[in-house]
Structure 1
Amino acid sequence: IWGDLDEMTLVFANTFTIASGLVKLAFCTRDRGLYSALARRLDALLSVQRAVCSEDPELASILRGSRKQAASLTVGMLLMMFSQGFVWFPIPVVAHPGERRLPFAQHNWDNNTNYYGLSYAVQCVAGVYLSQISFGMDCLFAAIMIIVAAELKILSCRIVKLEADDISKQVGESDDRLGDTTLRARQKPYSNLCQCIETHQNILRFVVRLQNTMSPIAMT
């Protein structure tokens, strides 16, 4: 019923890859504004803690590390998939010379005799293009999640470092000016804690928006 099992397995695997790429391309085209808004919101989220990171080398290293990891993952995955084409596409010509084999699906109705060159080129181009789209969308969301996780890690470090400056032990209480300084110094940790809570709420809101945007893509 199924014919050659190896050929059918290859056809099904390629069909799923092409279909996944087409579905993701359709979502990306339809929801282009949604993805643009997601990128803007991510940039706004990063700007909230950007000033803090610029003042603390440890926090800055966390942010740099997340960006480097996200970039390496994206470039590495896309280059790996792109490089597979140079290995896979010439195989029919090298392994089966003169048999007019196609890279993925064979045209059994005419034994690959009609438009062989065009069919070969279409399968190669479609395979590379749609696989790049499919993996590119996955890498996009993976990179965003890496950066958001880094933002949460930065936030946790900020909370750990919150310490009340006990200036009252260092200054006299008789000086009103120093008393005001003490009060302001004690209010600063509370203000920083409020900023951390607000940042955490912003991150959670972004995660919800990311989940809503990513859910249709995750199903493909």
Structure 2
Amino acid sequence: MAVLETFARQRLGATREPWDNVLRRNVKVLRFGGVWRPASKSGWRHCAFPLYFASVCGSLLNIITLDIVRSWLLWGDMTEVTFALVSAMTNVNGVFKMVHCFRHCETYSRLVSELNGLVELQRPYCEGNGDLMAAFRKACRRAARLTIGCLTYMNVLGQMWCVVPLVSHVPPGSRESPLPLVSLPGLHRENRGWYLFAYLVECHAVFYWNFASLGMDMFFASIMIQVTGQLNILNIRLTQLRQEGSTEDQAQLPRSTGFNLSRNDQHQQRSANDFTRMYSELCECVKHHQAILKYLEFLERVMSPVVLTQFLCSVVAVCVTLYQITFNPEGSGVIKCAMFLPIPALQIFVYCWCGHDIMEAGLSVSLAAYSCAWVGVGQRVTSALRIVMCRAQRPLQLTAGKVYPVNRDTFLSLINASYTFYTLLRQMRNR
């Protein structure tokens, strides 16, 4: 009977909560993009994965090679060289993410398993408390919407990038026909075989870049959102700390002593039990807070080089894309650059937004500890609360290569840096 009830709940989706693997959606995206190894250590999927990875990575490397060749052939043409630089930097970033995950696959798997363990620590408290469960579900919804929304936007944009070369007009004296990413001098649509091959290879790179590069960004963003959710759950637990024992214990207290205690003695013993219970709950909160801090240190070690590379490549991409929109005389090039411009800015913003939320939730731990019912409790509880508040006042700040803090101020400074470099390029062109 219990088996049937469980099966029915699973079929109806009544109690489906992503406790077991909160990142399963992101892992599926990366696995589809050729970044994440298959779960099984044997079978045809495991054997075919290196070839799958090589095909995706090879497409991106092919675009980088074509960008270098085009820059060499058209050296001196500022517009063409800068357009090739945008494409090259974007694909270099994607290749770096893929290789980093491929080389450290065990570390990435540990990142997922430890996050699931972190969620499991506070699961018993969430299942019995509506506020805690709401905070957990809110984090899961935010991660799902961000992942699905960004990937949907990028896939629609990628399809537009692939369609624009087919519908764009080619001037009669043009040296080449347009392609989604890199046009090859001397390759025209009349040469259908080579043009079709180059077109399909570049469409392959555009399609899989969305899942490999942007999918990695959504992976780390989802982790940060889940960690923020765990901090919010911890804050609610700290706020709900009260000096009260269970009614059952209080009812059994006179029978368990075997003496006719006075009303004052009973009150003192109940207060002592209440202090002990509150102190025990506070100790559990402290342990979970320490577990979150330890996990954030591990997350920073894994994520730091990826975020630093993303910041550097995105700054260059935004700068050069602004230059292209300003000075590119071709209509199709302006359209493609205008469609591409939000992408590097979005990739920077996602990291900075999620990292800033972690910092704010971490600082809120101190206020949550102060907001509990600490008035009149024992010295042990107040001393522990002071320690928690002092530790929580240090910001939980992730960094990119120990250079940039991952927060909203960094996002503004990087956008300002992109505009500064753009102004420098304009001055160089005018001279």
1:211 corresponds in structure 2 to: 300
2:296, 2:151 → 1: CA distance? 25
Q: Which aligned pairs between 1:135-174 and structure 2 lie closer than 5 A?
A: 135-165=214-244, 173-174=261-262
Q: Check whether the contact 1:10–1:104 (CA below 8 A) recurs between aligned residues.
A: no
Matched, 1:186 2:275: yes
1:82 corresponds in structure 2 to: 155
Q: Check whether the contact 1:17–1:131 (CA below 8 A) recurs between aligned residues.
A: no
Q: Which aligned pairs between 1:27-176 and structure 2 lie closer than 5 A?
A: 27-96=100-169, 100-108=177-185, 110-112=186-188, 113=191, 115-165=194-244, 173-174=261-262
* Cα drift, residue 181 of structure 1: 5.3
Letter in 2 for 1:105: V
2:312 corresponds in structure 1 to: none
Letter in 1 for 2:221: A
* Cα drift, residue 180 of structure 1: 5.8
1:60, 1:136 → 2: CA distance? 27
1:139, 1:92 → 2: CA distance? 29
* Cα drift, residue 11 of structure 1: 2.2
Aligned sequence identity (%): 32
* Cα drift, residue 133 of structure 1: 1.0
Q: Check whether the contact 2:177–2:183 (CA below 8 A) recurs between aligned residues.
A: no
1:14 corresponds in structure 2 to: 87
Letter in 1 for 2:181: F
Q: Deviations 1:108-127 (Å, cap 9, x if unpaired)?
A: 1x334571111111111112
* Cα drift, residue 179 of structure 1: 7.0
Q: Check whether the contact 1:92–1:101 (CA below 8 A) recurs between aligned residues.
A: yes
In structure 2, runs of 5+ residues without a counterpart are 1-74, 255-260, 310-431
Q: Secondary structure at the match of 1:143?
A: helix
Q: Secondary structure at the match of 1:51?
A: helix
1:214, 1:115 → 2: CA distance? 40
Letter in 1 for 2:158: G
Letter in 2 for 1:122: V
1:11, 1:89 → 2: CA distance? 17
Matched, 1:26 2:105: no
Moved more, 92-101 or 203-212: 92-101
2:319 corresponds in structure 1 to: none
Moved more, 33-42 or 176-185: 176-185
Q: Check whether the contact 1:17–1:130 (CA below 8 A) recurs between aligned residues.
A: no
2:178, 2:283 → 1: CA distance? 66
1:201 corresponds in structure 2 to: 290
2:86, 2:151 → 1: CA distance? 19
Q: Between Structure 1 and Structure 2, how many residues are aligned?
A: 217
Q: Check whether the contact 1:21–1:133 (CA below 8 A) recurs between aligned residues.
A: yes
- Say which structure, 1 or 2, has more relative contact order (CA 8 Å, 6+ apart): 1
Q: Deviations 1:89-136 (Å, cap 9, x if unpaired)?
A: 11111012696321221211x334571111111111112212321111
* Cα drift, residue 138 of structure 1: 0.8
Q: Check whether the contact 1:103–1:123 (CA below 8 A) recurs between aligned residues.
A: yes
Q: Secondary structure at the match of 1:164?
A: coil
Letter in 2 for 1:163: R
In structure 1, runs of 5+ residues without a counterpart are none
Q: Deviations 1:144-166 (Å, cap 9, x if unpaired)?
A: 11110111111111111111128
Letter in 2 for 1:3: D
1:37, 1:12 → 2: CA distance? 35
Q: Secondary structure at the match of 2:122?
A: helix
Q: Secondary structure at the match of 2:96?
A: helix
Letter in 1 for 2:116: D
Q: Check whether the contact 1:21–1:131 (CA below 8 A) recurs between aligned residues.
A: no
Query: TM-score, normalising length from structure 1?
Result: 0.88
Q: Deviations 1:55-96 (Å, cap 9, x if unpaired)?
A: 110110010000000011011111111111221111111012
Q: Deviations 1:1-50 (Å, cap 9, x if unpaired)?
A: 43261x44432222111111111000011111101001000000001111
2:93, 2:232 → 1: CA distance? 33
1:185, 1:121 → 2: CA distance? 70
